[in-house]
C-alpha cells in the first residue's frame, strides 16, 4: 500500500482524521504534515514539517514517501479570512492548486479537499439548502471554497485526477480547538461551560447554523474516499448535514447537564457572516451516492462533548 499524506494535520479536523486513518491503515502509512506539530500528529506516527505553499518541496516529499492519497486540510477559515482577505485567498487557492498539480504530475490515486457551507450566499434557501443551488458567497473564505470546487471539477474532467470533496458544516470536537471559523462558538461554549458555567456568545440567540460532531465528519470523509469512483457523481463538492441548532438551543441542552449554566449574547462581525449562510442543508445526493448518514444528534453531541471535557475544572467564576 502507498502512503497517505495529510496536509494541515495539526488542525481541528486533521488531528482526529490522522488518528482515525492510523487506526484503520496503520500508523506508519499515514504521514501527518503541517507547519507545526502537535502531540497527536507528532508522537503516534510519522510527522513531516511542510509548507504546502512550497510546491517543489511538496512534489519531492510525495515521491520520497511514495504517497498515493493526499488529504489537503490547510486553509484559513471564515472569520480569520475576513480579517486577512488576501492572505486567505492566497493560502486557500495556492495550496489547492499545488496539490492538484502535484497529484496530476505524480499520478496520485486520490485527493480529498474540503469545501464548506460557506459557498452559499444570503440568497440561498435558509432551510434544506439544495446541492445544486447557485453559489454566491459573500466572504473571501466562501469565494475561495467556491472557486476551489470549480478547480477540483476541472482537474477531474481535464486530467482525470480523482479528487473528492465535502461541504463541511461547523465541526464540533473536544480534542483540538477550532481555528478561526464563524461556528467556533459551538466548541468554545463547552469549554466555557465547564470552566465558568457561563458563556458570552458572539452570535444572536436565534442564529440557526448547520453543525456536525467531528466523529461524523471524519467518518463521512473516510466513507467518501472509500466509495467506488463510479458512485461519485458530484465532482465539485457534496452537501453533508447532520444537526442544525441555535446558540439558545445548544445552551438549553448544556443546561440539562450543568445546573446554573448561563449564556449571554454580544454579536460581533461574525453575526453577518453567519446570516449569509443557510440554516440547514439538503444532503440527499451524498446519501444516495455513497450512503451517507449521520450518527450524532444534538443530545448525543452535547453529552459526548461534556463527558470528554470533564477534566476541565471550574475556575473562579466571580470575575464573570
Q: Determine if 19 is a binding residue for ligand NAD (CB under 6 A).
A: no
Measured at the CA of 137, the angle between CA 132 and CA 139, to 5 degrees, comes to 155
Stretch near ligand NAD under the rule CB under 6 A, chosen from 67-75, 227-235, 240-248, 292-300 = 67-75
Helix axes 12-25, 214-226, angle to 10 degrees: 50
Element (H, E) at 188: helix 185-196
CA distance 254 to 74: 31
Applying CB under 6 A, the span of 22-30, 124-132, 171-179, 246-254 interacting with ligand NAD comes to: 171-179
SS3 72: strand
- Applying CB under 6 A, the span of 125-133, 168-176, 297-305, 309-317 interacting with ligand NAD comes to 168-176
Residue 60 Cβ, how far from ligand NAD at the closest point, in Å? 15
Where does residue 278 rank: exposed (0-12), middle (13-18), buried (19+ CB within 10 A)?
Answer: buried
Among 129, 171, 193, 274, binds ligand NAD (CB under 6 A): 171
Q: How wide is the angle at C-alpha 169 spanned by C-alphas 192 and 187, nearest 5°?
A: 10
Q: How far is the CB of 260 from ligand NAD (least distance, A)?
A: 29
Instruction: Tell me if 50 sits within 8 A of 109, measured CB to CB.
Output: no
Q: Is 159 a catalytic residue?
A: no
Q: Which three cell numbers stand for residue 120?
A: 452559499
User: Any idea which residue has 492572505 for its cell?
Assistant: 87
Among candidate residues 141, 155, 168, 185, the one labeled active-site is 141
Residue 36 interacting with ligand NAD (CB under 6 A)? yes
d(CA 182, CA 125): 19
Number of residues near ligand NAD (by CB under 6 A): 28
Distance CA 6, CA 132 (A): 29
- Residue with Cβ nearer ligand NAD (12 or 239): 12
Tell me how far the alpha carbon of residue 281 is from its chain's centroid: 15
Q: Given the complex with ligand NAD, which of 87 and 257 has the nearer CB atom?
A: 87
String of b and e for 256-271 (b: at least 16 CB within 10 Å)?
eeeeebebebeeeebb
Is residue 75 within the footprint of ligand NAD (CB under 6 A)? yes
| Contact set for ligand NAD, span 239-258 (CB under 6 A) | none
12 contacts ligand NAD (rule: CB under 6 A): yes
Rounded-to-integer distance, Cα 134 and Cα 229, Å? 25
Per-residue mark of binding to ligand NAD, 92-131 (x: CB under 6 A): ----------------------x-x---------------
Please tell me whether residue 74 binds ligand NAD under the rule CB under 6 A. yes
Active site residues: 141
* Interface ranges with ligand NAD (CB under 6 A): 7-8, 10-14, 34-36, 50-53, 73-75, 77, 91, 114, 116, 168, 170-171, 178-179, 181, 183
Amino acid at each position: 500500500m502507498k502512503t497517505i499524506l495529510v496536509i494541515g494535520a495539526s488542525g481541528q479536523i486533521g488531528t482526529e482524521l490522522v488518528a482515525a486513518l492510523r487506526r484503520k491503515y496503520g500508523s506508519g502509512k499515514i504521514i501527518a504534515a503541517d507547519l507545526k506539530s502537535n502531540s497527536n500528529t507528532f508522537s503516534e506516527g510519522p510527522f513531516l514539517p511542510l509548507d504546502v505553499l512550497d510546491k517543489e518541496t511538496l512534489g519531492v516529499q510525495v515521491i520520497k514517501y511514495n504517497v498515493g492519497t493526499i488529504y489537503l486540510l490547510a486553509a484559513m477559515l471564515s472569520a480569520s479570512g475576513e480579517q486577512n482577505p488576501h492572505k486567505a485567498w492566497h493560502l486557500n487557492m495556492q495550496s489547492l492548486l499545488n496539490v492538484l498539480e502535484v497529484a496530476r504530475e505524480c499520478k496520485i490515486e486520490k485527493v480529498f479537499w474540503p469545501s464548506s457551507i460557506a459557498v452559499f450566499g444570503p440568497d440561498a434557501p435558509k432551510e434544506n439548502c439544495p446541492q445544486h443551488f447557485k453559489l454566491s458567497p459573500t466572504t473571501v473564505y466562501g469565494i475561495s471554497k467556491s472557486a476551489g470546487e470549480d478547480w477540483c471539477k476541472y482537474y477531474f474532467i481535464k486530467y482525470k485526477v480523482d479528487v473528492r470533496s465535502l461541504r463541511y458544516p461547523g465541526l464540533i470536537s473536544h480534542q483540538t480547538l477550532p481555528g478561526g471559523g464563524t461556528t467556533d462558538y459551538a466548541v468554545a461554549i463547552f469549554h466555557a461551560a465547564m470552566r465558568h458555567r457561563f458563556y458570552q456568545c458572539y452570535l444572536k440567540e436565534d442564529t440557526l447554523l448547520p453543525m456536525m460532531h467531528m466523529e461524523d465528519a471524519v467518518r463521512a470523509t473516510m466513507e467518501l474516499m472509500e466509495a467506488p469512483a463510479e458512485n461519485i457523481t458530484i465532482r465539485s463538492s457534496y452537501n453533508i448535514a447532520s444537526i442544525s441548532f441555535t446558540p439558545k438551543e445548544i445552551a438549553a441542552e448544556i443546561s440539562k447537564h450543568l445546573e446554573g449554566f448561563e449564556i449571554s449574547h454580544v454579536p460581533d462581525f461574525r453575526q453577518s457572516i453567519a446570516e449569509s449562510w443557510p440554516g440547514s442543508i439538503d444532503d440527499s445526493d451524498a446519501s444516495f451516492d455513497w450512503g451517507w448518514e449521520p450518527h450524532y444528534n444534538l443530545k448525543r453531541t452535547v453529552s459526548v462533548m461534556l463527558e470528554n471535557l470533564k477534566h476541565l475544572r471550574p475556575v473562579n467564576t466571580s470575575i464573570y
